[in-house]
Structure 1
Amino acid sequence: MLGWTFDTECICQTGDYVRIVKKLCSLANKPNLINGLKDFVDIEEREAWLKYRINGKHYIWTIEVNDDWADTLTLSYVMDNIESDGFHFYFKDSGQAMILFYLHETDAFQINHCQAMYFNE
């Protein structure tokens, strides 16, 4: 099981969202899923967007700019586009960062069930 500690205070310039999306695809073991991946970030002008293509369908997201914080709502839409075949992104929040996993729903259930059993003993 692979995980990624994603520090959400990481947006400084154009290319940052491309890097994040590529990491999400890598975590899902789908490095070639997304085509035409491009972003634009101008923090001073409070303007940002992300666009890409999956299976011939085009997506364009207007990104909310909040200083150097990543727009996690937009990233949740991207994650929805990546998820398939009973696999989903799961995360554990740690304040400024989160640990992301890409798991099959049965594995996530087992992990959560074992954790609950361990802490309830």
Structure 2
Amino acid sequence: MLKWLERTILGPTVNEQYSKLEEIGIRLNGNYKLADILHFPVKDYQAKPYLLLLMDMGSEPKDSDREGVICDQLWCFDRECIEDQGDYSLKLNRIGELIKDELELTDISDDIDFEAERASVSFRIDGRACKYDLNFEYDWLDINLFKIFSMLLEQHGSNRRFYYFDTGNNLLVALLHREQWNSLKELTPIFQPA
């Protein structure tokens, strides 16, 4: 009786959640299994359906010996990550990995001036030089960075865009086709377009 009640109160199991994500094309890279990436107790995944699993799929691998990212479409990181020159460049490198099938991101650099309260990034997209001023938010990453890349993807004919969910400290970012985003919204309406 208690198991049935628990099941009706809690959401789908983590395996059921992952199966639904796979159906819409969000999956682990080949060298990862679900058991490899889970960070929380199993019941937590049912209490917060999809959120914790998506965060785990977008996080850095627990095993530092593993190569590659866990999921090519998701990225979850601490938004309070801009502490010095080069920190935006590190984030741009990861964005470059996410968009590599559609756009080539090269010659990455950033300019962060804490005294003048300024931040900007520059890079080349498919050989074209780009420079963007960002909102200076001290050590917090400016979410507009993902809006810039959604715009660039659109300009280059891609139908993928960046979507995000700000947990308060972590930023969960997804690079999805609009159809995937619509399907994901039916499972969990947490993401908004960048």
The Cα shift of 1:93 comes to 2.3
SS in 1 for 2:108: strand
What secondary structure, in the 3-state scheme, does the structure 1 residue paired with 2:109 have?
Answer: strand
Say which is worse superposed, 75-84 or 105-114, in terms of deviation: 75-84
1:109 matched to 2:192? The reply is no
Q: Which residue of 1 aligns with 2:81?
A: 10
Equivalent position SS for 1:22: helix
Work out which of the residue numbers 95, 110, 114 in structure 2 matches 1:39. 110
Find out whether 1:64 has 2:135 as its counterpart.
yes
Contact 2:149–2:162 at 8 Å: present in 1 too? no
Alpha-carbon RMSD across the aligned residues, in angstroms, is 2.3
TM-score (norm 2): 0.52
Task: Report the count of equivalent residues.
Answer: 116
Larger radius of gyration: 2
Query: SS state of the match for residue 106, structure 1?
Result: helix
Q: 1:88 matched to which residue of 2?
A: 161
Cα separation, 1, equivalents of 2:108 and 2:102:
12
> Aligned to 1:27, which of 98, 104, 115?
98
Corresponding residue number in structure 1 for 2:122: 51
Q: For residues 73-96 of structure 1, what are the alpha-carbon distances to aligned partners after superposition, in whole Å with 9 as ceiling and x for unaligned?
A: 244213422455211112222112
Residue 17 of structure 1 deviates from its aligned partner by 0.8
Kindly, what percent of the aligned residue pairs are identical?
A: 23
Q: Does 1:99 align with 2:172?
A: yes
| 8 A Cα contact 1:39 1:48, kept in partner | yes
Helix, strand or coil at the partner of 1:108: helix
CA deviation after TM superposition for structure 1 residue 45, in Å = 3.0
Cα 1:64/1:111, change in 2 over 3 Å: closer
Q: In structure 2, what is the Cα distance between the partners aligned to 1:102 and 1:92?
A: 12
For structure 1, the residue ranges without an aligned partner over 5 or more in a row are 117-121
Give the number of the structure with larger relative contact order, counting CA–CA contacts within 8 Å between residues 6 or more apart: 1
State the shift of 1:60 in Å. Answer: 0.9
Gaps of 5+ in 2: 1-25, 27-70, 190-194
